[in-house]
Amino acid sequence: MGVFEMNHPLIQHKLSYLRNKDTDTKIFRETLNEIAGLMTYEATKGLRLKEVETETPIMKTTTKVLADPVAIVPILRAGLGMVEGMVTFLPTARVGHIGVYRNEETLEPVYYYCKLPVDIAKSKVFLVDPMLATGGSANYAIDYLKQKGVKDISFLCIIAAPEGIERVQEAHPDVDIYAASIDEGLNEKSYIYPGLGDAGDRIFGTK
C-alpha cells in the first residue's frame, strides 16, 4: 500500500501539455487519455493471474489470464476523461460511475448519481479522477464503494495535492494512490498549484 508518483518520461512530457493553459480541448482530452493509459500499465502490475488450458495451433498448453474481475469507476464528470485511455489496456473491464462534485464554497462533496457493475464487490476497482485536491470527493467515493462491499481499490489521478493524499491515506490506508504528479499544494480557493486548472471544464470545454 502506498503513494506512487509516476515519473516516467512519457507521462511527464504529456503532463506538460495538460498544464499549459493554451492547450485546447481536443489536445487536452487526447493527452489526458494517453496519460491514463500509461498509468494503467503501471498500476495494474499487481493484478493476480490464473492459469487456463489453451490450444495453440501447435499443441495444448497453459496460459495466464486475469484472475479477478476488474472495474474502472470514474468520478463524474472529470473522471470520464480517463476512461477511454484505461480501457485500451483493460478491454474486459466493466465501467461504473459515481457522480460527486465539490461544492465550491463549502468544499464538501455533493453526491448525485451512481451506477455500478453487479459484481463490483468481487472486483478490483480502479477509482479515477484527474484531480485529488482536498480529498473530499475521493474519500466520499471510496466510502461509497466500501459500503457496496468493495475490498480492493486503487485510486488513479493525474495531479494530487499533498493535503488530499494525507486525507485519503488517513481515512483509507488500504487504498493505493497513483498520481502522475504530486504538486506543491492548494491555493486559497483550494485549487491545486501549479496544477492544470479545473479539469472538468478543460475536458468538456465548459469555461
The label of the residue with cell 490464473 reads 50
Nearer to ligand PRP, 87 or 141 (CB): 141
Q: Does 84 bind ligand URA (CB under 6 A)?
A: no
Whole-number Å distance between alpha carbons of 200 and 207: 9
Nearer to ligand URA, 78 or 90 (CB): 78
Find which of ligand PRP, ligand URA, none residue 191 binds, CB within 5 to 8 Å per kind.
ligand URA
Whole-number Å distance between alpha carbons of 204 and 64: 39
Whole-number Å distance between alpha carbons of 87 and 33: 10
Among 198, 204, 205, 207, binds ligand URA (CB under 6 A): 198
Q: Does 138 bind ligand URA (CB under 6 A)?
A: no
Q: Verify whether residue 201 is a known catalytic residue.
A: yes
Nearer to ligand URA, 75 or 175 (CB): 75
Q: Contact at 8 Å (CB) between 99 and 88?
A: no
Question: By CB under 6 A, which span of 8-16, 120-128, 147-155, 197-205 interacts with ligand URA?
Answer: 197-205
Q: Contact at 8 Å (CB) between 93 and 156?
A: no
Name every residue whose Cβ is closer than 8 Å to that of residue 154 and which is 6 or more positions away in sequence.
43, 124, 125, 126, 127, 175, 176, 177, 178
Q: Verify whether residue 102 is a known catalytic residue.
A: yes
Whole-number Å distance between alpha carbons of 132 and 191: 10
Q: Annotated binding residue at 137?
A: yes
Q: Annotated binding residue at 102?
A: yes
Residues that bind ligand PRP (CB under 6 A): 75, 77-78, 101-102, 107, 109, 129-138, 164, 190, 198-200
Annotated binding site for uracil: 192, 197-199
Which residues are designated catalytic?
102, 106, 198, 201
